[in-house]
Amino acid sequence: MNILIVEDDPDIAQLILETLERESFICQIAGDGMTALEVFKRRQPDVIILDLMLPKLDGLEVCTHIRQTATSKDPFILMLTAKGEEIDRVIGLSTGADDYLIKPFSPIELVARVRALLRRSLRHGGQSNKLYQTQHFTLDLERHIATRRLENQSEEPLELTTLEFNLLSTFMSYPGRVWSRIQLIEKLWGNDFFGDERVVDTHVRRLRKKIEIDAANPTFIKTVVGVGYKFEDE
């Protein structure tokens, strides 16, 4: 597994590098935001450990740019910061970070968080039903293909990340069921989840932008106030 470490403090970057290389990960360091984006395009890492405070381009901007870039891989992003305020965590998650770690942190916790992120993509293995189909959507779980049926009955492919695909398949497996954030976390991430449960809202918003005609007034993924979300489509 390839990991990109984006950290402008050389001592911290070296500590992270040595810690992860002892666990047999392949790592590369970028000391600023601009370099991080260049390395990201070349290397397509599986995980990005991203410091919030960076020269040239800060971590929030780097995270946003990566999430808006269409690539063959959708990396997990673990954001690091020396700040512990609630608002920083919320902003970091809202830009698309998958987890959040506050400095100072122990090497053991860092490795545990990275391994937990890498296990998330395995949560949907082994479904007995390989095809979910509703009036407007078809999900082929075996080939990992998602399509939307347009008004002219043509099929439009949906470019979904692994997590977005798994989230949509969870919704489509039980149409009409109301899922709380905690239930969605247990379904998608299990006991490996360390972050804030509001990260679910971030991923739902990103999925809505790809499947809804008007993401601000969703037709398919609806909010159930005080509870969570449900999917509706005949």
The DSSP-derived string for 75-141 is -EEEEEES---HHHHHHHHHTT-SEEEESS--HHHHHHHHHHHHHHTTTTTT-S--EEE-SSEEEET
- The reply to whether 109 and 138 lie within a common domain is no
Spatial contact of 229 and 204, defined as CB atoms under 8 Å apart: yes
The least confident of 46-60, 87-101, 156-170 is 87-101
Q: Given this model, what pLDDT does residue 223 score?
A: 94
Domain edge (last residue) among 78, 93, 120: 120
- The reply to whether 143 and 204 lie within a common domain is yes
**CATH number of domain containing 202:** 1.10.10.10
Is 12 or 121 the better-scoring residue by pLDDT?
A: 12
Average pLDDT over the chain, rounded to an integer: 85
Host domain of residue 20: 2-120
- The reply to whether 91 and 42 lie within a common domain is yes
In a domain, 214, yes or no: yes
Give the Cα separation of 25 and 169 in Å (integer).
30
The domain total for the chain is: 2
- pLDDT category of residue 91 using cuts at 50, 70 and 90: low
In a domain, 126, yes or no: no
Q: What is the pLDDT of residues 135-153, one digit of tens each?
A: 899 998 878 889 998 877 7
- The reply to whether 146 and 106 lie within a common domain is no
In a domain, 125, yes or no: no
Whether the pLDDT of residue 120 is over 80: the answer is: no
Whether the pLDDT of residue 68 is over 90: the answer is: no
| pTM reported for the whole predicted model | 0.59
Spatial contact of 82 and 103, defined as CB atoms under 8 Å apart: yes
Q: Given this model, what pLDDT does residue 92 score?
A: 62
Which percentage of the chain shows pLDDT scores above 70?
Answer: 86
Whether the pLDDT of residue 66 is over 50: the answer is: yes
- pLDDT category of residue 75 using cuts at 50, 70 and 90: confident
Q: What is the pLDDT of residues 151-193, one digit of tens each?
A: 777 888 999 888 899 899 989 888 888 888 888 888 887 766 6
Spatial contact of 130 and 142, defined as CB atoms under 8 Å apart: yes
- pLDDT category of residue 128 using cuts at 50, 70 and 90: very low
In a domain, 195, yes or no: yes
Q: At what angle do helices 59-67 and 86-94 cross, to 10 degrees?
A: 30
Whether the pLDDT of residue 1 is over 50: the answer is: yes
Q: Given this model, what pLDDT does residue 5 score?
A: 97
